[in-house]
Amino acid sequence: MRLDVNGDPRDLDDGTSLATMIEQLAGSTRGSAVVVDGEVVPRSEWASYPLRPGQSVELITAVQGG
Amino acid sequence: MDDPFVIAGVELSSRLILGTGGAPSIQIVDEALAASQTAMCTVAMRRVDPGISGSILDVLDRRGVRVLPNTAGCRTAAEAVRTAHLAREALETDWLKLEVIADERTLLPDPIELLDAAQTLVAQGFHVLPYTNDDPILARRLQQAGCVAVMPLGSPIGTGLGIGNPHNIELIVGEAEVPVILDAGIGTASDAAFAMELGCDGVLLASAVTRAQNPAQMAAAMAAAVIAGRLARLAGRIPRRHHAHASSPTEGMAVF
């Protein structure tokens, strides 16, 4: 299935959970936050959250900053 | 000397708060952290870049440094509130350096949006540390809104121009009931010492260290300056005089 992740199209296996996608892209779920179609998804829902084709995902983490 | 630095009931072991932005590598941040002996560092929230290995969070964890997420880059209260929620979700802290800037050229806070965001976030349970203009009345309003500290700028972010209006900083300190942290504009160690001499409770700086030719050495200088300025403030400086005042005895001079 194809989704939009941080502004780029990305193909993921059908049924991939949010937690799996975050681990694949960010290396771990630590320090990450995620917005799906404009809504912040709480960490407690990541493992069971089913991604669907066409969704828009913003994957955010902490970086160096003032 | 018992002189604890406490924000929202949490005691921090250093009055120097370090921003981690502007350093060419995480390794340099790590060295600067060690030299600064800071207890809290700011981070920004940005899109994950799968090409980057190593996280600033690992460095902060290893050094036992508390993380303070910011809302850098936000232009409106609504943007800042959304970013705050992302930060709370990502970092599992409700502490926030609230930054709502007006434009890229000055990076000055937009006071209307800042106060609006502060009121919203306090109501949502955040511990808000707002980066604010050196305006005593805005600082007062931010305190009234329930912010746990106020962080007036010395001069615009990244300029290194030092403290442009020390009189305003003194006015803010004079009526503050929460810690006052001088944030932005520090260029070198004497600026940090001056902030503390004016009565600020702490100093937050990034570029002065991360963009110094030797960041770790400058971090050590800032740590010493903050301690020196604090001690001088507590010691009570002599009043300024217009005429000389001899420190050697004026009596008992030899007669030739």
Q: What is the pLDDT of residue B216?
A: 96
What does the alpha-carbon distance between residue B112 and residue B17 come to, in Å, rounded to a whole number?
Answer: 26
Q: Which residue reads 């694949």 in tokens? A: A24
Tell whether A59 is within 8 A of chain B (Cβ): yes
- Return the structure tokens found at B46: 């940005």
What's phi and psi for A58, nearest 5 deg?
A: -110, 125
What's the sign of the alpha-carbon dihedral A6, A11, A13, A15?
A: positive
B interface with A, Cβ–Cβ below 8 Å: 19-23, 26, 29, 42-48, 50, 53, 55-57, 67, 69-70, 72, 82, 85-87, 89-92, 157-158, 184, 206-207
DSSP secondary-structure letter at B8? T
Q: Is pLDDT above 90 for B67?
A: yes
ipTM reported for the complex, 2 dp: 0.89
Cβ–Cβ below 8 Å for A65 and B48: no
Residue B186, SS3 per DSSP: coil
What does the alpha-carbon distance between residue B20 and residue B27 come to, in Å, rounded to a whole number?
Answer: 11
Q: What does the pLDDT look like over B202-239, one tens digit per residue?
A: 999 999 999 999 999 999 999 999 999 999 999 999 99
Q: What is the pLDDT of residue B225?
A: 98
What does the alpha-carbon distance between residue A34 and residue A40 come to, in Å, rounded to a whole number?
Answer: 6
Render B63-90 in DSSP notation, one character per residue.
HTPEEEEB-TT--SHHHHHHHHHHHHHH
Q: Is pLDDT above 80 for B1?
A: no
Q: What is the pLDDT of residue A24?
A: 84
Q: What does the pLDDT look like over B133-164, one tens digit per residue?
A: 999 999 999 999 999 999 999 999 999 999 99
Q: What is the pLDDT of residue A21?
A: 87
Residues in chain A closer than 8 A to B22 (CB atoms): 64, 66
Q: What is the pLDDT of residue B203?
A: 98
Render A26-56 in DSSP notation, one character per residue.
HSSSTTEEEEETTEEPPGGGTTTPBP-TT-E
Q: What does the pLDDT look like over B4-47, one tens digit per residue?
A: 999 999 999 999 999 998 888 889 999 999 999 999 999 999 99
Q: What does the pLDDT look like over A20-29, one tens digit per residue?
A: 888 888 877 7
Q: Is pLDDT above 90 for B2?
A: no
What does the alpha-carbon distance between residue B101 and residue B96 come to, in Å, rounded to a whole number?
Answer: 15
Kindly report the length of chain A: 66
Average pLDDT, integer, range B44-72: 88
- Return the structure tokens found at B16: 């120097």
Q: Is pLDDT above 70 for A50?
A: yes
**CA-based angle B153:B6:B69, to the nearest 5?**
55
Q: Is pLDDT above 70 for B53?
A: no
Average pLDDT, integer, range B75-96: 95
What's the sign of the alpha-carbon dihedral B107, B44, A24, A18?
A: negative
pLDDT-based confidence at A66, cuts 50/70/90?
confident
Average pLDDT, integer, range B93-109: 96
What does the alpha-carbon distance between residue B152 and residue B109 come to, in Å, rounded to a whole number?
Answer: 10
Q: What is the pLDDT of residue B172?
A: 98
What is the distance of C-alpha B65 from the center of its chain? 15
Q: Which residue has the higher pLDDT, B67 or B52?
A: B67
Count of CB atoms within 10 A of residue B109's CB?
25
- Return the structure tokens found at A36: 């799906």
Q: Outline where DSSP puts E strands in chain B.
A: 5-7, 10-12, 16-19, 40-47, 66-69, 95-98, 127-132, 151-152, 181-183, 202-205
Average pLDDT, integer, range A16-21: 88
Cβ–Cβ below 8 Å for B90 and A60: yes
What does the alpha-carbon distance between residue B43 and residue B20 come to, in Å, rounded to a whole number?
Answer: 6
CA distance A65 to chain B (A): 4
Which residues of B are catalytically annotated?
A: 97
Average pLDDT, integer, range B40-62: 87
* Alpha-carbon distance values, B12 to B3, B92, B165, B184 (Å): 11, 19, 27, 20
**CA-based angle A48:A54:A60, to the nearest 5?**
60
Regarding beta strands A56-64 and A32-36, do their DSSP bridges make them parallel or antiparallel, or are they unpaired? antiparallel
Q: What does the pLDDT look like over B117-132, one tens digit per residue?
A: 999 999 999 999 999 9
Cβ–Cβ below 8 Å for A63 and B44: yes
